[in-house]
Amino acid sequence: MPKANELKQGTAIEINGEPYVVKKIDVRNPTSRGATTLYKVRFTHMKTRQKLDETFKSDDMLKAADCSRCAVQFSYQDGDSYYFMNSETYEQYALSAEDLEGQTEYLTDGLEGIVMLLMDDAALGIQLPNIISLQIVETPPAMKGSSATKRTKTAKLSTGLEVQVPEYIETGEIIRVNSETGEFSSRA
């Protein structure tokens, strides 16, 4: 049984006997004394695809949904469908861009470490690895002497995702991005 502060994008949770998957988490830290951190979570129903917004305190206990998980690798995209291959059985699974809302910007050919959520052998969603390496395809030139400052600039990555990177990073470099926050982590 996970706590609300342990939720990640793609986690399967049971609410009122129905299976939901976490799509987005917004953490709110109140400034008043004694206030607890609140987690505003957007869920999507695993079968009907209806959205549900709930707010939890950090120590609220949630029930994990009864679904199976398997390791998959991203294979390819065909139109609006994304295809994944089971790493052990080589079985193929397809998910639509709507099913992968907010996760498509992290998918690169052959990406491993992805966990597929299955219910009754039907693909419901994925959990991405926490850190993903992506190549920068466009960013302003590096500035000399900028390594001592904390200023950032926008960089466009090979998947179309835009992140803020330190000024000393150059076009063509491979960087590591946190898939939960969408922020620059380090050079690869």
Q: What is the pLDDT of residues 76-101, one digit of tens each?
A: 999 999 999 998 999 999 998 888 87
* Phi, psi of 63, rounded to the nearest 5 degrees: -100, 125
Residue span(s) of the chain under CATH 2.30.30.30 come to: 4-64
Does residue 47 contact residue 19 with C-beta atoms inside 8 Å? yes
Q: What is residue 147's predicted lDDT score, i.e. its pLDDT?
A: 58
Q: What is residue 184's predicted lDDT score, i.e. its pLDDT?
A: 92
Q: Is the whole model's pTM more than 0.85, yes or no?
A: no
Architecture per CATH, domain 68-127, reads as Beta Barrel (2.40)
Residue span(s) of the chain under CATH 2.40.50.140 come to: 68-127, 131-187
Which residues make Cβ contacts (< 8 Å) with residue 77, sequence separation at least 6?
Answer: 83, 107
SS3 (DSSP) at 106: helix
Task: Give the C-alpha separation, 165 to 135, whole Å.
Answer: 12
Q: What is the pLDDT of residues 5-51, one digit of tens each?
A: 888 777 888 888 888 888 888 888 877 666 788 889 888 887 787 88
According to CATH, the topology of domain 4-64 is: SH3 type barrels. (2.30.30)
- Which candidate, 17, 33, 22, 7, places its Cα nearest to that of 124? 22
Architecture per CATH, domain 131-187, reads as Beta Barrel (2.40)
Chain-centre distance of CA 175, in angstroms? 16
Amino acid at 177: V
User: What is the CB neighbour count within 10 angstroms for residue 97?
Assistant: 13
Sheet with 63-64, edge to edge strand ranges: 51-57, 38-45, 18-28, 12-15, 63-64
Chain-centre distance of CA 162, in angstroms? 15
Q: Residue 145 pLDDT more than 70?
A: no
DSSP state of 61: B
Q: What is residue 149's predicted lDDT score, i.e. its pLDDT?
A: 63
Give the DSSP per-residue string, 1-32. --BGGG--TT-EEEETTEEEEEEEEEEE---S
Task: Give the C-alpha separation, 79 to 22, whole Å.
Answer: 25
Residue 5, both tokens: 């502060």
Amino acid at 173: E
Does residue 58 contact residue 36 with C-beta atoms inside 8 Å? yes
